[in-house]
Amino acid sequence: MRAALIGGASKGLGYGCALALAKSGHTVVMCARHKEELEAASKSVASESRSCAIAVACDLSTPEAISEITRTLEANQLEIDVLISNVGGPKPGTVTELSEADWETGLDLLFRSTLRLYGLVLPNMRRKKWGRIINILSTVAVEPAPFLAISSVLRSALATYSKLLSKAVASDGITVNSIMPGGFLTARTEALEKEVATREGLPIEAVRKRVASNIPIGRMLSTDELGAFVSYLASDNAGGVTGTLLPFDGGQMTTV
C-alpha cells in the first residue's frame, strides 16, 4: 500500500485530494495548521474511504513542520510515495500595496515550504525508483492576477522549479506535475470574493455571479473532480506524464 502526503488537507482542494487518494487505496498523511479541524477531516476521510488517514497538525511555512512530519512517518513506519504540495493562498494585494514583509511571508508559505517537502520525500522516492509529486498551483501561475501579486509571482516560480526538477528525477521513475485549478468553490475563493466585494462596493452575490459567468462550462468546479484527476496522476498509468503545467479551470484560461 502506498502512502501519500497532502498539504492543506483539512478543507478545500487539499481535502478533495486526500479523500480521492484514500478511496484509491492510499494511506494518507494529512497536514494542516488547525489541529481540531484537521483531526475532524482525517476522521471523515477514514470513514468515507476505509483507508488509514493520519493527521499531522503543523505549519508548513516553518522548518519545524518537516520535523513533525518526519516523527509521524517514523512512528507509523511510513515512507511517502505521493506528495501533494498544497498550501493556502498568501496575502492578497497588488505589487504597490504589499510590503517586503508580506513577500517574505509568502516565500515561506509557498516556495520554501515546497522545497522542504521535496527534500523530505525525494531520497526515498529515488531509492525506490518510483514517486509522484503533484503541485497544486493556480491559473495565476500563467495568467497573473493584479490583486494576487504574491501568489502570481511565486506560483510561476514554482512551476519553473518543478519543470527543472521533473527532468532531474525522470530517470528515477519519479514524475513531477503541476495543476492550475481555477473556478473551484472553496473557503479560499469565498474569502477572495468577499475581498473583491468590499473593494468594489458590490454585493457578494453579484461577485459570485460574475465569477461563474467567466467560466465557460457555466459552473464552479467541485473538489471531487480535482481529486479524481490527482488520483490518475498519482497512479502507475500516468508514468509517462511529467513536467507538465495543467489547467483545471472549466476552460477559463485564455492562454493557448
Residue 40 binned pLDDT confidence (cut-offs 50, 70, 90): very high
Mean pLDDT of 187-214: 86
Model confidence over 55-95: pLDDT tens digits? Answer: 999 999 999 999 999 999 999 999 999 999 999 889 999 99
Residue 188 has pLDDT above 80, yes or no: no
What φ, ψ does residue 80 adopt, rounded to 5°?
-85, 125
**Strands annotated E in 137-240:** 174-181
Residue 123: which residues within 8 A CB-CB, separation 6 or more? Answer: none
The DSSP secondary-structure symbol of 93 reads B
CA distance linking residue 8 with residue 56, whole number of Å? 11
What pLDDT is stored for residue 158 in this prediction? 98
> Would you put residue 228 in left (φ > 0), alpha (ψ -120 to 50) or beta?
alpha
What pLDDT is stored for residue 83 in this prediction? 98
Angle value at C-alpha 60, between 19 and 140, nearest 5 degrees: 75
Model confidence over 156-167: pLDDT tens digits? Answer: 999 999 999 999
* Secondary structure of residue 94 in the 3-state scheme: coil
Q: Could you tell me the CA-to-CA distances from 126 to 31, 82, 176, 185 in Å, in that order? A: 23, 12, 13, 36
What is the pLDDT of the chain when averaged over all its residues?
Answer: 95
What pLDDT is stored for residue 88 in this prediction? 86
Q: Could you tell me the CA-to-CA distances from 15 to 46, 53, 137 in Å, in that order? A: 12, 11, 15
Q: What is the pTM of this model?
A: 0.92
Q: Looking only at Cα atoms, what is the longest distance across the chain?
A: 55
Rg (the chain; Cα; Å): 18
CA distance linking residue 154 with residue 9, whole number of Å? 21
CA distance linking residue 155 with residue 152, whole number of Å? 6
Q: Could you tell me the CA-to-CA distances from 226 to 13, 63, 184, 207 in Å, in that order? A: 7, 28, 9, 23
Cell numbers for 239 = 508514468
Name the helix (H) or strand (E) containing 219. none
Residue 190 binned pLDDT confidence (cut-offs 50, 70, 90): confident
CA distance linking residue 76 with residue 69, whole number of Å? 11
Residue 195 has pLDDT above 90, yes or no: no
Residue 205 binned pLDDT confidence (cut-offs 50, 70, 90): confident
Whether the Cβ atoms of residue 105 and residue 89 lie closer than 8 Å to each other: no
- State how far Cα 143 lies from the chain centre: 18
**Residue type for 158, please?**
L
